[in-house]
Amino acid sequence: MTTPSTVTTATPLIDWHVLCQVLLASVSIGVALVTLFSLGVASLSVSRSTDGTTLTRSAGQFGVLVASILVTVVIAWGFYIITQKG
What does the H/E/C string look like for the chain?
CCCCCCCCCCCCCCCHHHHHHHHHHHHHHHHHHHHHHHHHHHHHHHHCCCCCCHHHHHHHHHHHHHHHHHHHHHHHHHHHHHHCCC
Q: Give residue 28's pLDDT.
A: 93
Q: What is the end-to-end Cα distance of the chain in Å, rounded?
A: 49
Compute the residue count for the chain.
Answer: 86
pLDDT tens digits for range 12-61: 898 899 999 999 999 999 999 999 999 889 888 888 877 778 888 888 88
The model scores a pTM over 0.75: no
